[in-house]
Amino acid sequence: MSIHAFRMQLKPGMTAEYKARHDQIWPELTDLLRDAGISDYSIFLDEPSGALFAVLKLAEDNQRDALPGNPIMQRWWDHMAPLMEVDADNRPREWPLLPMFHMA
């Protein structure tokens, strides 16, 4: 198991809608993420900047790299694209975060 952390960016004024959509996340999306070997997934917001910080656990045999090709994932990205910075395919832009400290 490994930990993966990254930053994403909300567009101004989209905080409430982003939270609302995640409060009603599609069950088929959470199933897809779990089946891909993702667990313990959290997203935190830095309100002044609109930066989102995500942390998740990846199983050793995870299939995270296959998610962009899945229609459920593509639909979610299309659903979220108006709220955040995305690439041309509507995939949320990610900036990796480097581990600096961990206390177990």
Catalytic residue among 4, 22, 79, 102: 22
Assess whether 79 carries a catalytic annotation: no
- How distant, in Å, are the alpha carbons of 10, 67, 73, 87, 95 from that of 31? 25, 12, 11, 24, 25
Tell me the HSE value of 29 on the side-chain side, using a 13 A CA sphere.
16
Place of tokens 């998610």: 67
Would you please indicate which residues are annotated as catalytic (active-site) residues? Answer: 22
